Amino acid sequence: MIALKIACLLAGLAQHGLPVSIAQDEPDRPPALQQIGAADLILDLHRFELVPQAGFTYFSEDFEGGPSPCLGLIARAPLPFLAPREDELHEAIGAFVQVTWSTIDRDIPASGSTDGSLFFIGVGVDFLLLRQKDAFVRGQLGFEYGALSDVEQLDSGFALLTGVLSGVQLFQGVWLTWDIEFAIGNSGDWILFNQAGAVIRF
């Protein structure tokens, strides 16, 4: 008899859904998150953005090189599954890949080349520090590999990458950015990238 009553109860739930009192106890999911597919919940490529940049590179004392021009490009997409619950847009945390080109002209006595091109590729995550209607500030943390060409007494290698990217909206769809990044090597030497750019959103 008890088994029959349970079966009838389950059949009623399947037909009419949860009772109102139980349904109201279920936590509400943010509407934006309900619209994100399983794949985009990890990396939301529907909000992919590019940030082309240009500026100057500055070197620590041991590099013995002055400021040099640089060009960079950041590709970034949100990581919705890491976003805090209060982030209704689910874009507070993102993943990025970036490439940067620069040059160096070292003031050292050497038998080989003291100037050449520098290429960097970095990966990491960024996190929202401040967001307003027409401005944002993001922290950046990752790793970067520097290919230091064949410049005398410079070795290619990995570095810790930290930075701050800020943006200001000029008008609808147009954002200008300012990006300051430090690449810090094992020896304590560092390279600073100071670049301005613009956000291109897809």
**Does 142 score more than 80 pLDDT?**
yes
pTM of this structure: 0.78
116 assigned to some structural domain: yes
28 assigned to some structural domain: no
The number of folded domains in the chain is 1
Q: What is the pLDDT of residues 146-185, one digit of tens each?
A: 998 778 778 899 999 999 999 999 888 789 999 999 999 9
Other residues' Cβ atoms within 10 Å of the Cβ of residue 13: 12
Quote the CA–CA distance of 199 and 122 in Å, as a whole number. 18
Quote the CA–CA distance of 193 and 62 in Å, as a whole number. 17
- Cβ(124)–Cβ(145) below 8 Å: no
Name the residue range of residue 58's domain.
Answer: 37-201
Q: What is the pLDDT of residues 52-103, one digit of tens each?
A: 999 999 999 989 899 999 999 999 999 998 887 777 777 899 999 999 999 9
Domain of residue 97, CATH code: 2.40.160.70
For CA atoms 98, 102, 106, 112, the dihedral sign is: positive
